[in-house]
Amino acid sequence: MRTFKNKVALITGAASGMGKYLAINLAKEGADVVICDVNEDGLKETEKIIKSYNVGSSLLVLDVRNKKEIEELPSKIIENHGKIDLVFNNAGVVIPAGFLNMKEEDWDWCNDINYNSIINFSRSFLPHLMKDEETALINTSSIFGIITTPNNTVYHASKFAVRGFTESLIKEMEGSNTQIHCVYPGHIGTNIAVNAKFGNQISKGESKDGILGLNGEPIKDIKGERVSEEEAGVRFRDAGMDPDKAAKIILRGVKKNKKRIFVGIDSKLMELSQRLLPDSYWKIMSFTLFLGLLFSPHRLKKVINLAINKKS
């Protein structure tokens, strides 16, 4: 895809994080933008920035679990904007919890947002994308769709599923006018950890080797100080890659028609370690993450500042 100018793009999860900056950067390049999220206030902030670039825009307060609304979306967008060229399935959530102690409704909630919504958007929009030249479907998996950690079972399951679906679709759509992309973000500075829905059936003795800690108990930061789950989420966000930079990497990947788009040196290094050491990559994960920081001096500085300055 040579340019985004005069394209019409749909982005889910556009109230914050990568989705917000995908929308803003697409607008900068002259695309009409349709933004979706359940967070209306966040969407309005994104829309305000988009409108400063004098492009067409639509704001849709939408729960991506609502299959009926998704099925009706293509006709609404085409009616308002004349066509649809790009669909970014970006919405995602996380529940740090072990499998055996997770409520079934929590499992379904996470899967419905992270995976089933992508199936439903793909099924609804692909027939329309295939009618025009230079169109694209972009699905967000995660580096956690390639590697695993304890106590994030549902997140891994959903992101592995996105990976499998999208990479299979890439093969099925070869030779068509519609590009298919699978995005693998590493540690990005978004609110996904801040807004994490923590499993509330975790036994007191269960391991806390997941992303943030479990069961509402304080966890330890880099300095060994105890912090709440919410504070841990904030620190996790603040130490990540700037979501604006992440969005730019994704858009460059779409322009270059990269089927797999790895976002961040940590994402690339962890994927490499999984291929080279499939049975033991987790043993060197901390070292791999440290290498990622060394290759990203700005993020390393942020992590050091957080370790020095943050108080529990």
Is 281 part of any domain? no
Is 231 part of any domain? yes
Q: Report how far Cα 243 is from the mean position of its chain's Cα atoms.
A: 10
- Kindly name the residue from 21, 115, 155, 281 that is annotated as catalytic: 155
Is 108 part of any domain? yes
pLDDT reported for residue 239: 53
For the chain, residues with pLDDT lower than 70 are 189-240, 280-312
Is 160 part of any domain? yes
Angle between helices 40-51 and 17-28 (to 10 degrees): 20
Is 68 part of any domain? yes
Comparing CA positions, the residue from 249, 248, 237, 239 lying closest to residue 293 is: 239
Is 278 part of any domain? no
Comparing CA positions, the residue from 200, 207, 247 lying closest to residue 9 is: 247
Q: What is the pLDDT of residues 145-189, one digit of tens each?
A: 998 888 889 999 999 999 999 999 999 999 999 999 999 998 886
How much is the pTM?
A: 0.79
Active site residue 155: yes
pLDDT reported for residue 56: 96
Domain range spanning residue 107?
A: 8-264
Is 127 part of any domain? yes
Taking the C-alpha atoms of residue 69 and residue 87, their distance in angstroms, rounded to an integer, is 15
Is 136 part of any domain? yes
Number of domains in the chain: 1
CATH number of the domain that residue 122 is part of: 3.40.50.720
